[in-house]
Structure 1
Amino acid sequence: MKRIGIIGVGEIGRAIVTGLRHGGDTAPEVYLSPRGARTAAELAERYEDVRVCGDNQEVVDRSDLVILALRRRDWREAVAGLRVPADRIVVNVIPGVGTEELRHALGTDAPITHAIPLPPVRERGSVTVVYPSHPEADAFFERLGGALPVADEAALNIMSALTSTLTSHYAFLSTLTAWAAGHGIPAEDADRFVRGVFQGVGRSLGDESSSLERLAADHETPGGSNERIRTTWFDQANSAALRGALDGLLADLGTGPESDTGTEPETGPGTGRR
């Protein structure tokens, strides 16, 4: 794939461009839309063969594979009037917008695949869920950390719901540091310590030979302090509440209010389709 286009240059767009150049190997040409003008300009200045186009149609015209990384509330305006030839490959990264809905809006016979890239693709450190599988799209995301094709759009929505727990994880860590600070630990020391602890835990996830249950057991002594917090705080009621929140989100995907799986608000000149 020699030419990549990205319409909607927020956090995910930035991560994709960065990931393509991670490690210094040869990267494809990248054409960016004027949406997210500040980020697009920064990337074009930083990387060779990354260019900002005058409008979204130019992105499509110059690209072999076109990534739509738009916010749900903005996507119809952004794609209105676009002409997408059948020989392009469209990657839909818009949360909660199904393939057929997008195809109808674009009026194209081009292959469309839905994908859920996450910010760690900037370091090729995250697998990307895709549906339906397409050889070119799969190969593209393999380069960014791996492609994980799923069976249908329902499975993709389940995976999308899982990504919506990311900021809850950061809020959990923030609560830990605030608790320690409330007990007299300097905030910067608490922050540094908590980051170190959970960076180590994150690295242990790279051992795919151990299940998540096994990893939890390996970090827990029967009757110890880890078991105490897990059983008194993350009890059955807490677990049920989390499952219920995920079930509610899953029911809303595609029909409910806008969601966000990593796209970034697009500010500055060029935020609307031009």
Structure 2
Amino acid sequence: MVIPKKIGVIGVGHMSGTMIEGWARLGDDMPRFYLSPRGAEAAAALAERYSCEVLKSNAEVVEASEAVILAVRPWQAEEALKGLPWRRDQLALSVMASVKTEVLKPLVAPATVARCIPVTACVYGESATTLYPDEPRAKALLAALGPPTVLEDESAFDRLSVHGCTYGWALALIDEVRRWTEESGIPPETARQHVAQVFRAAATMARESGTPVAHLVDELASPRSFTRMGLEVLRRENAFAPWQNALDTIRKQYDG
């Protein structure tokens, strides 16, 4: 499937901006972007950097585009999207976390609706993106930002999309470990790069190895090892329970 060449953005902000930055990696194959006027400062910056065109209204964005990224605040969706000149041949690709397909469809009819949750690593082509449903144009667009995980069940999409938040929490954990490392006397950039590589190495093992992750942990945490010693402290302090609680909290938000 060929990537749509004319993409509109309704709701110009941090997430949609990082998506555009990720698509800029396509070089000469980068789509043309049409931006809504809200978020004027962010839109102007994107227009200057990537030759995007800022239009006068959301209606003009829809008229100009083959696919439209929906990135407004969830509570602004109806006001921003209803009554626009949507077409049957258009894709409306929502990045609004908690707005269900049944809500979106009447707002953008007769356009085709798809939902996705990317993360900001899309600027490096490394996003962990969820997509529902398996819409060819959406999948082609998102593949340029990192391999999407496609779900055919919307409830499964919502459960897996919780990990868009896990991504942020993982960065917070990396920063805590970086801070400790720096305070131990390691130069700041060395601390940042090495700690990031440690987490990347762990993620690579979890993703690429056919061994269950729990077994990988057991292999590292052998008796009397330093890894085992630290893991026992974490388990004694019940350090993993707050992560489960945080995941449950966000899932409830998706469940409504």
- Do they superpose with TM above 0.5? yes
**Which residue identity lines up with residue 101 of structure 1 in the other structure?**
V
Q: Which residue does 2:96 correspond to in 1?
A: 94
Match of 2:72 among 61, 70, 75: 70
**Deviation of the 1:157 alpha carbon:** 1.0
**Which residue identity lines up with residue 187 of structure 2 in the other structure?**
D
Q: Which residue does 1:55 correspond to in 2?
A: 57
TM-superposition CA deviations, 1:238-267 (whole Å, max 9, x none)? 334422331232122152xxxxxxxxxxxx
**Which residue identity lines up with residue 157 of structure 1 in the other structure?**
D
Q: Which residue does 2:24 correspond to in 1?
A: 21
Q: Which residue does 1:153 correspond to in 2?
A: 154
Q: Give the whole-Å Cα distance in 2 for the aligned partners of 1:124 and 1:214.
A: 30
Counterpart of 1:21 in 2: which secondary structure? helix
**Deviation of the 1:230 alpha carbon:** 2.0
Q: Give the whole-Å Cα distance in 1 for the aligned partners of 2:181 and 2:198.
A: 19
Q: Which residue does 1:81 correspond to in 2?
A: 83
Q: Classify 1:176/1:142 alpha carbon distance in 2 versus 1 (closer, same or farther; 3 Å).
A: closer
**Deviation of the 1:11 alpha carbon:** 1.7
Q: Give the whole-Å Cα distance in 1 for the aligned partners of 2:245 and 2:197.
A: 28
Question: After superposition, where does 1:122-133 map in structure 2 within 5 Å?
Answer: 122-133=123-134
For normalisation by structure 1, the TM-score amounts to: 0.80
The question of whether the paired residues in 1 share the 8 Å contact of 2:174 and 2:199 is answered with: no
Counterpart of 1:252 in 2: which secondary structure? helix
Structure 2 stretches of 5 or more lacking a match? none
Q: Give the whole-Å Cα distance in 2 for the aligned partners of 1:5 and 1:223.
A: 58
The question of whether the paired residues in 2 share the 8 Å contact of 1:7 and 1:69 is answered with: yes
**Deviation of the 1:131 alpha carbon:** 0.7
Counterpart of 1:74 in 2: which secondary structure? helix
The question of whether the paired residues in 2 share the 8 Å contact of 1:177 and 1:191 is answered with: no
**Deviation of the 1:102 alpha carbon:** 1.3
TM-superposition CA deviations, 1:148-202 (whole Å, max 9, x none)? 2113111111122112123322332333355467xx646x835741442223431
**Which residue identity lines up with residue 41 of structure 1 in the other structure?**
A
Instruction: Tell me how large the CA RMSD over aligned residues is.
Output: 2.6
The question of whether the paired residues in 2 share the 8 Å contact of 1:83 and 1:108 is answered with: no
**Which residue identity lines up with residue 21 of structure 2 in the other structure?**
T
1:205 paired with 2:207, answer no
Q: Which residue does 2:6 correspond to in 1?
A: 3
Structure 1 stretches of 5 or more lacking a match? 256-274
**Which residue identity lines up with residue 197 of structure 2 in the other structure?**
Q
**Deviation of the 1:100 alpha carbon:** 0.8
**Which residue identity lines up with residue 197 of structure 1 in the other structure?**
V
The question of whether the paired residues in 1 share the 8 Å contact of 2:178 and 2:195 is answered with: no
**Which residue identity lines up with residue 146 of structure 2 in the other structure?**
G
**Which residue identity lines up with residue 36 of structure 2 in the other structure?**
S
**Deviation of the 1:144 alpha carbon:** 2.0
Q: Give the whole-Å Cα distance in 1 for the aligned partners of 2:216 and 2:39.
A: 40
Name which of structure 1's ranges 221-230 and 231-240 shifts more when overlaid on structure 2.
231-240
Q: Give the whole-Å Cα distance in 2 for the aligned partners of 1:214 and 1:169.
A: 21
Q: Which residue does 1:264 correspond to in 2?
A: none
Of all paired residues, the percent bearing the same amino acid is 30
The question of whether the paired residues in 1 share the 8 Å contact of 2:220 and 2:228 is answered with: no
Q: Classify 1:191/1:2 alpha carbon distance in 2 versus 1 (closer, same or farther; 3 Å).
A: closer
**Deviation of the 1:27 alpha carbon:** 1.1
Q: Which residue does 1:142 correspond to in 2?
A: 143
